[in-house]
Amino acid sequence: MSNQAAYTEDNIRSLDWKEHIRMRPGMYIGKLGDGSSPDDGIYILLKEVIDNCIDEFVMGAGKTIEITIKDNSVKVRDFGRGIPLGKVVDVVSKMNTGGKYDSRAFKKSVGLNGVGTKAVNALSSHFEVESSRDSFSKRASFNYGDLKEESPQEPSSKRRGTKVIFVPDQTIFKNYKYRLEYVDRMVKNYVYLNPGLTIDLNGEKYISENGLKDLLTDQTNENDLAYPIIHLKGEDIEVAITHSKTQYSEEYYSFVNGQNTTQGGTHQAAFREGLAKTIRDHFGKNFDSSDIRKSIVSAISIKVMEPVFESQTKTKLGSTEMGGDMPSVRSYIIDFLSTQLDNFLHKNPEIAEKIQRKILQAERERKELSGIRKLARERAKKANLHNKKLRDCRVHLPDLKMDRRLESTLFITEGDSASGSITKSRDVNTQAVFSLRGKPLNSYGMSKKIVYENEEFNLLQAALNIEESLEDLRYNNIVIATDADVDGMHIRLLLITFFLQFFPELIKEGHLYILQTPLFRVRDKKQTFYCYSDQERREAIQALKGKVEITRFKGLGEISPDEFKHFIGEDIRLDPVMLDKNTTIEQLLEFYMGKNTLDRQNFIIDNLKIELDLAEEAME
């Protein structure tokens, strides 16, 4: 008898627009997540709505956007032309419906596929849209994509524009929370790219006068710049360039039609190529491209007719042409740099001299490290072959760049018991484990040489594949998984110091996290609750209302592999390591890892008192 399943007309299903989006959300917004990562789905929903507002601004309609985020409800209001009232429902609920198919209305738009607000609607437990124009307004509301209420067109004195309110569906985005640090970064990028635009986020106004120059100014410490920021603008291109005095790798911020292309694309590749070519031609020397670009911090924005992105989330440009009768993306960017950057360097010989000095310094350092690097690579290769420090996964970030629904993760653990539990319970396809031996070295103030000479750092760098640049990073998420005790906290601090000192872009780009694991297990004969705080423990005891068993986990090694599956699977809780926008990396490292013993001692005493007060409250 055949074991093949029946395949008949009954097996064929036709899904309506919202069913397909809800069944396959990753096809429309990339990964889901809980808001701990800047590219989690809840931020993509917000971006899709804001993109429509930006397109209105670009077309000369509406100079202000108002955004309010409260209790996971999001409201976005623009003052553009407003959706044509007869199409308000269709625009947010019928696939392949939108004004952006008409290039006369939206010449250089971000959202060209007519999917964005439909995805927001379908993936929200509540969605509301209101358009005001020509002294009339119309409103419609939806639940999970289903139309619940549609008002007739009514006379209105409201300013023209569109208002959207949505609440992401908690059954899809589990335990989600908007982190305003990520929204703040998103909003800043929008105003950098659109001088004259004002965005009001929860009452705070954002505006930029100098575009990408403001971006680099905000992202860097003035004292760390090798020379003043070079800012160049053309009709469809803008670039800002500088070098860091202390940073080791390259750092790029790239945009297309206002969209932050976090994974780069054809424009970023052309920029890197054009920069190296222009510098070589200007100085008449065949510098190594890695020496030219070492420590560079730069931004590029271009505008393209009907851009083609490599995914729905628009994080990587695939277009090779600018559109119309324009040259290719590559030729356009290289020609712009060859002319404008070269002219700038001729007019500013003092900056040109500093750039040359920076390149020569990078060349010397590369040659000095070449022998050490070779030995370090050989050691890393040998160590990976003969020990079990790295339990790798099957697929890695370079393989997943086309599909952000999948993410590769490296857990950095302490000790054999913790790494053993994670190794046995992990997803071998996308989750890898790197086991530390003892406490890492305090690398604050040390040179890059120590990364190659210290076995732990060398092997960690090799596992991540970040020696040359972050472009070949093997894991999207780097998760520090240590015990929630004093030693575990110290190891976290030492690892964060390592990344801040030598690879700060990993943190700036949102790759580094702390794994949250439960402190308590509360259970009776029928139910088990894993609690991450005293508050959750009290709530679990109250929910069970009877005789309960309470276990306090002292370390990761005490959690069985079967239990660990809950904590690193679909319901994983991650705390992103984020940089305070008001504190520089040097200030952070000096305070926590430097020799300012009295300041740090007072800080610990003050915060310990706060913790003791909270503990006393919890016991009352």
- pLDDT of 317 reads 79
Domain 17-206 annotated CATH 3.30.565.10: yes
39-48, pLDDT tens digit by residue? Answer: 889 999 999 9
Please tell me which residue, 17 or 180, carries the higher pLDDT value: 180
Give strand ranges (E) for 38-72.
64-70
Q: Is the dihedral of CA 44, 45, 46, 51 positive or negative?
A: positive
Measure the CA–CA gap between 366 and 375, rounded to whole angstroms. Answer: 14
Single out the residue of 166, 172, 79, 175 nearest to residue 127, CA to CA: 166
Residue ranges of the chain that CATH labels 3.40.50.670: 387-517+558-582
Dump the DSSP string for 96-150: T-SGGGSTTT-TT-S--SS-HHHHHHHTEEEEEEEEEETTEEEEEEEETTEEEEE
Measure the CA–CA gap between 150 and 141, rounded to whole angstroms. Answer: 7
Residue ranges of the chain that CATH labels 3.30.565.10: 17-206
Measure the CA–CA gap between 507 and 579, rounded to whole angstroms. Answer: 8
What is the rounded average pLDDT of the residues 119-140?
Answer: 93
394-427, pLDDT tens digit by residue? Answer: 888 765 544 444 578 999 998 777 788 888 889 8
- On the CB side of 392, CA atoms within 13 Å amount to 14
Among 27-36, 98-107, 281-290, 573-582, the minimum mean pLDDT is found in: 98-107
For the cut 90, the answer to whether the pLDDT of residue 545 exceeds it is no
What's the token pair of residue 120?
A: 């927001």
The mean of the pLDDT values for the chain is: 83
Under CATH, which architecture does the 212-366 domain have? 2-Layer Sandwich (3.30)
- pLDDT of 232 reads 96
For the cut 60, the answer to whether the pLDDT of residue 11 exceeds it is no
Strand order in the sheet with 230-233: 230-233, 237-243, 296-302, 251-256, 259-260
Measure the CA–CA gap between 102 and 17, rounded to whole angstroms. Answer: 22
- pLDDT of 184 reads 92
Fold entry, domain 387-517+558-582? Rossmann fold (3.40.50)
Give strand ranges (E) for 17-114.
64-70, 73-78
Measure the CA–CA gap between 90 and 97, rounded to whole angstroms. Answer: 7
Measure the CA–CA gap between 575 and 200, rounded to whole angstroms. Answer: 27
604-620, pLDDT tens digit by residue? Answer: 556 554 444 444 444 44
- pLDDT of 191 reads 94
Residues linked to residue 65 through DSSP beta bridges, in sequence order = 78, 199
Does the global pTM surpass 0.85? no
Q: How far is CA 29 from CA 17, 25, 122, 234, in A?
A: 15, 6, 12, 32
Residue ranges of the chain that CATH labels 3.30.230.10: 212-366
Cα Dmax for the chain: 83
Please tell me which residue, 206 or 27, carries the higher pLDDT value: 206
- pLDDT of 580 reads 67
427-471, pLDDT tens digit by residue? Answer: 898 899 998 887 888 888 788 888 888 888 888 988 898 877 777
Measure the CA–CA gap between 518 and 515, rounded to whole angstroms. Answer: 10
| Cβ-proximal residues to 60 (8 Å cutoff; 6+ apart), any chain | none
- Confidence category of residue 309, pLDDT binned at 50, 70, 90: confident
- pLDDT of 455 reads 84
- pLDDT of 581 reads 58
- Confidence category of residue 104, pLDDT binned at 50, 70, 90: very low
- Confidence category of residue 298, pLDDT binned at 50, 70, 90: very high
Among 60-69, 226-235, 388-397, 535-544, the minimum mean pLDDT is found in: 388-397
Measure the CA–CA gap between 469 and 79, rounded to whole angstroms. Answer: 42
- pLDDT of 439 reads 84
Q: Which class for 40: exposed (0-12), middle (13-18), buried (19 or more C-beta within 10 A)?
A: buried
| Cβ-proximal residues to 601 (8 Å cutoff; 6+ apart), any chain | none
Give me the helix-helix angle, 597-619 and 534-544, nearest 10°: 10
- pLDDT of 106 reads 45
168-189, pLDDT tens digit by residue? Answer: 999 999 889 999 989 999 999 9
- pLDDT of 616 reads 46
Measure the CA–CA gap between 134 and 379, rounded to whole angstroms. Answer: 72
Residues linked to residue 297 through DSSP beta bridges, in sequence order = 242, 251
For the cut 90, the answer to whether the pLDDT of residue 76 exceeds it is yes
- pLDDT of 15 reads 61
For the cut 80, the answer to whether the pLDDT of residue 523 exceeds it is yes
For the cut 60, the answer to whether the pLDDT of residue 235 exceeds it is yes
Measure the CA–CA gap between 354 and 599, rounded to whole angstroms. Answer: 36
For residue 93, the one-letter residue type is S
239-271, pLDDT tens digit by residue? Answer: 999 998 877 778 899 998 888 888 888 899 999
Single out the residue of 163, 218, 164 nearest to residue 188, CA to CA: 218
Q: Which class for 331: exposed (0-12), middle (13-18), buried (19 or more C-beta within 10 A)?
A: middle
Single out the residue of 221, 222, 246 nearest to residue 502, CA to CA: 246
What is the rounded average pLDDT of the residues 72-78?
Answer: 95
